Amino acid sequence: TMYSLLCSFSRHRKLRLTIVESIQRHTQHHSIPLSWTMDKQAFLKVFTQLKEELIGDFQKLPGLSDALKEQLTTYYTQCLETTVPGGKMTRGLTVVRGVEVLKGRALTEQELFDASVLGWQVEWLQAFFLVADDIMDGSITRRGSPCWYKHAHVTQDNGINDALFLENLIYKSLRRHFKKHPSYVQLLELFIDTTHQTEVGQHIDTNGTPYANGKRAPLDLSRFTLDRYRGCVRYKTSYYSFYLSCALSLAYCEVPEDSDMYQKANDVCMRLGEYFQIQDDYLDAFAPPEVLGKIGTDIEDAKCSWMVCQALSLADEEQKEVLKKHYGKHDPAGVAKVKELYKELGLERVYSEYEEEQKKECDALIASIEPESFQDLFKFLLGKIYKRSK
């Protein structure tokens, strides 16, 4: 009814004003300092509005009973609240930071809100990938809690559909909030292209050891090369975890698609993405699950990880036999022996040296970027991942 629509509009208007007021407490009326980052609570309030809009869409579906609409509302409210927020939100906050850097001033109410909405679409994309990835990897926990498909009322059957549903919601929100924006098509294409790139990377990752006759083929250590690894990282991680947020900021600010700023962002983001994924591989092997927030399964899943690539380059024939015997086996004792081998080969030291070298190279690459003001976005990203423990 008209009355319910007016009530809904009023509720979202009040929520939006609360969001903006919360953000503005941090910005005041001055230029935003380089060290400023958006308050996570203010960012989360934007999620609440987006969630309410998307869940409210169930009420507009024709041909469904009130009972079915209530079932959808209850189930997907829990799904969104469980799978979308809860992480560090770096990808989403990077969009906000990028718009600030590019504008070079305090953002208007509309700009703050728009940048936050775009940021949450990146987080929605992350949720889609993680729900699907956990099913593919047979993972147990995510962010310190059971994976979504592991919830008793979800299971793998619902989990696959929910991953697809999460992806669809990105495009519903983009249409709702950006259909009249000059860069609407470019924003859509960035999400389409990034999803395609990430799914290419996921295929490379999943098939480090290929399948044959419905099961894993025998382990072939010769497939675990740094060349394969770098291709996987570029497509599975770098585009969606780093480049997408930066490119969305550029597109929203109407930087022309042929500007070399996109290529500069790409160059830095590919480097940051490789560094980030190598960190992930190291933490998968050595970080305690209670700190990491999940139980690492790279060894059991026979992943072409940086750790096993490095181990193969350093191991003698006897040590390689340990990998041949235990890598890719769902056997806790065997996994422990592989981790012992990693320590025996000094991979903790190798990683530490790599991290410091990567930090220097990233600093140098960022320093070469012009305009100089654009550097701050990448300093922000590097600061978020350098020496991280989870």
Annotated catalytic residue, options 134, 162, 205, 301: 205
Q: Beta-carbon neighbour count of residue 74 at 10 Å?
A: 11
The catalytically annotated residue of 280, 284, 298, 301 is 280
Catalytic residue among 47, 276, 374, 380: 276
How far apart are alpha carbons 294 and 221 in whole angstroms? 26
Marked catalytic residue, from 16, 58, 103, 137: 137
Please name the residues in contact with 47: beta carbons below 8 A apart, sequence gap of 6 or more: 84, 85, 120, 123
DSSP label at residue 218: P
Q: Assess whether 236 carries a catalytic annotation.
A: yes
Write out 242-303 in H/E/C secondary structure: HHHHHHHHHHHCCCCCCCHHHHHHHHHHHHHHHHHHHHHHHHHHHCCHHHHCCCCCCCCCCC
**Residues 29, 73: Cα–Cα separation, whole Å:** 40
Distances (CA, A) of 283 to 82, 280, 388, 389: 23, 5, 9, 7
* Catalytic residue flag (residue 343): no
Q: Is 133 a catalytic residue?
A: yes
Task: Please say if 142 is a catalytic residue.
Answer: yes
Choose the catalytic residue: 142, 150, 234, 294. Answer: 142
User: Which residue in the list 133, 134, 284, 376 is annotated as catalytic?
Assistant: 133
Catalytic, out of 236, 264, 271, 294: 236
Q: How far is CA 124 from the centre of its chain?
A: 9
Identified catalytic residue from 114, 134, 162, 281: 281
Q: Is 324 a catalytic residue?
A: no
Active-site choice (43, 128, 178, 378):
128
107 touches 100 (CB < 8 A): yes
- d(Cα 337, Cα 264) in Å, to the nearest integer? 43
Active-site annotation holds for 137: yes
88, 175, 343, 388: which one is catalytic?
88
- 271 classed as catalytic: no
CB atoms within 10 A of CB 347: 22
Which residues are known catalytic residues?
88, 128, 133, 137, 142, 205, 236, 276, 280-281
